[in-house]
Amino acid sequence: DVKVTQSSRYLVKRTGEKVFLECVQDMDHENMFWYRQDPGLGLRLIYFSYDVKMKEKGDIPEGYSVSREKKERFSLILESASTNQTSMYLCASSSSDGGPFNEQFFGPGTRLTVL
Amino acid sequence: AQSVTQLDSHVSVSEGTPVLLRCNYSSSYSPSLFWYVQHPNKGLQLLLKYTSAATLVKGINGFEAEFKKSETSFHLTKPSAHMSDAAEYFCVVALLNTGFQKLVFGTGTRLLVSP
């Protein structure tokens, strides 16, 4: 069974803190993605990575950075958390085999609250 | 630019009645389209995808969607709703961003199923 796991289901942080969200996939996928999900806005892409140490900005990268040191792990970093980063964060992965329109597999999400 | 519009934020049906979740897309070329479902407190799961093969696509759990180019639509249907279908549904268009997959999500439709 395919698996994408995220380090925390719920997280509460204070404004200005550095926050790390971790994502691990066990499917040997090349591509990994970070989204945030807000009511009425759907999912918006923050960053993605198509290979180890490679990263690309998504639609809303401001205030975030990422790290991919190993193929199975993709970290999202909030350098200085702000209240407008309170959201649900979803990680996903997909294979590059067979073309670019493969299914993305999602983790259960991390609900982050910044006070 | 490619985008999707989900026409209803909420849809309510009775168990055993048909389901129709509407999605219109905008694309300058032949799109690849998906429907994902998110059950409460669970990650997103792929329901079905269209990638320019048959225009009628069958997915999991009895759902299907029809690609209609003339109407720029990709509506999701099911003949008979089940209580377990209550969830949020996302229509998604895939973009090829310099050869890498990028998904653009609609704002979601919450399906409510009453007994």
* Contacts of residue A28, Cβ cutoff 8 Å, sequence gap at least 6: A71, A72, A95
- Chain A residues at the B interface, defined by Cβ less than 8 Å, are 4, 31, 33, 35, 40-45, 48, 50, 56, 58, 90, 92, 94, 100-109
pLDDT score at A1: 67
Mean pLDDT over A10-22 rounds to: 97
Burial of A62 (0-12, 13-18, 19+ CB in 10 A): exposed
| Average pLDDT of the residues of chain B | 91
Mean pLDDT over B26-31 rounds to: 80
Mean pLDDT over B102-108 rounds to: 90
H or E element at residue A71: none
How far is residue B88 from each of residues A19, A109, B77, B78, measured CA to CA in Å? 28, 15, 14, 15
What's the domain count of chain A? 1
H or E element at residue B37: strand B32-38
CB-nearest to B106 from A42, A48, A109 is A42
- Model confidence at B98: pLDDT above 70: no
Look up the CATH number of the domain holding residue A94.
2.60.40.10
- Domain hosting residue A101, numbered range: 4-114
- Model confidence at A59: pLDDT above 80: yes
The reply to whether residue B94 touches residue A101, judged by beta carbons under 8 angstroms, is yes
Question: What residue of A is the nearest CA neighbor of B9?
Answer: A40
CB A34 within 8 A of CB A48: yes
pLDDT score at B74: 96
What's the domain count of chain B? 1
- Model confidence at B62: pLDDT above 70: yes
Please count the CA atoms within 13 angstroms of the CA of A77 that sit on its side-chain side.
Answer: 7
- Model confidence at B29: pLDDT above 90: no
Distance of CA A11 to the CA centre of its chain: 14
The reply to whether residue A109 touches residue B43, judged by beta carbons under 8 angstroms, is yes
Using the Cα atoms of residue A30, residue A92, residue A98 and residue B30 in order, give the sign of their dihedral.
negative
B10-14 and B56-58: which strand pairing? unpaired
- pLDDT tens digits, one per residue of A77-103: 999 999 999 999 999 999 888 666 788
pLDDT score at A61: 96
Look up the CATH number of the domain holding residue B78.
2.60.40.10
pLDDT score at B85: 96
Chain B partners within 8 Å of A34 (Cβ): none
pLDDT score at A37: 95
Mean pLDDT over B24-38 rounds to: 88
- Domain hosting residue B55, numbered range: 3-114
